[in-house]
Chains A and B, each alone.
Chain A
Amino acid sequence: AQSVTQPDARVTVSEGASLQLRCKYSYFGTPYLFWYVQYPRQGLQLLLKYYPGDPVVQGVNGFEAEFSKSNSSFHLRKASVHWSDWAVYFCAVSMGGADRLTFGKGTQLIIQP
């Protein structure tokens, strides 16, 4: 069965610093991968999605993620974080088509002034 691991429950970075949130997946075949963000007291919103093709995917608000088949990873990056990025970030995997999304446990991002 497919699964997603986000090894860091919480990540703290200074405003303006770079960011990487880690995501490892377990899946047979070529997965479809997603990053969703949950701002305080809101539902989840899609940041970016990977379909088989270019391994680096650009998302909204300066986020990008890189797919690595050899490492079974789909890490999320941002060059310079802003206080408004304070949120919980979820990585998710799917087989494609109408298959359901399987989510990781999420990583809480905390921004220090």
Chain B
Amino acid sequence: DPKIIQKPKYLVAVTGSEKILICEQYLGHNAMYWYRQSAKKPLEFMFSYSYQKLMDNQTASSRFQPQSSKKNHLDLQITALKPDDSATYFCASSQEGANERLFFGHGTKLSVL
């Protein structure tokens, strides 16, 4: 059974729209992350949260907003979608910091038309 659940698996959106990517982890971890994997770039770190607090943000655009309603949830809201936002978005978690073992979800593949 997957311990990190990402919904949906596939998502198609039109330019200018808004979407929310869901992530829930059932590993009891305190830290959660978002990474992005696109065809043109390596796997890129976006955000890290620890105990529901933002720890690190490497995403320049404010169109990307993480939301943590519960300790084991870290959703990603993306507004004003652009075709360049097309990528697979991976949620991950770890017990403490990033240098503990990261566990990744299966990803949400977003296509913006």
Contact = CB atoms under 8 A, between A and B. Distances in A.
Partners in one complex: yes
Contacts of A100: 33, 45, 48, 56, 58, 98
Dominant secondary structure of chain A at its interface with chain B = loop
B59 to A, nearest CB: 12
B4 interface: yes
Interface stretch (A13-21, A22-30, A76-84, A103-111): A103-111
B42 A106 contact: yes
B43 A98 contact: no
B11 interface: no
Contacts of A4: 42
B102 interface: yes
B56 A43 contact: no
B55 A98 contact: yes
A72 interface: no
A58 interface: no
B106 interface: yes
Nearest to A106: B42
Given A44-B90, A44-B102, A103-B43, A98 B4 contact: no
A24 to B, nearest CB: 14
A41 B103 CA distance: 15
Interface of A: 4, 32, 36, 41-46, 49, 51, 90, 94, 96-106
7 contacts: A43-B103, A43-B107, A44-B43, A44-B90, A46-B101, A90-B42, A94-B98
Given A44-B92, A46-B101, 20 more contacts: A43-B90, A43-B92, A44-B104, A46-B102, A49-B99, A51-B99, A90-B42, A90-B43, A96-B99, A98-B55, A98-B99, A99-B99, A100-B45, A100-B58, A100-B98, A101-B98, A103-B42, A104-B42, A105-B41, A105-B42
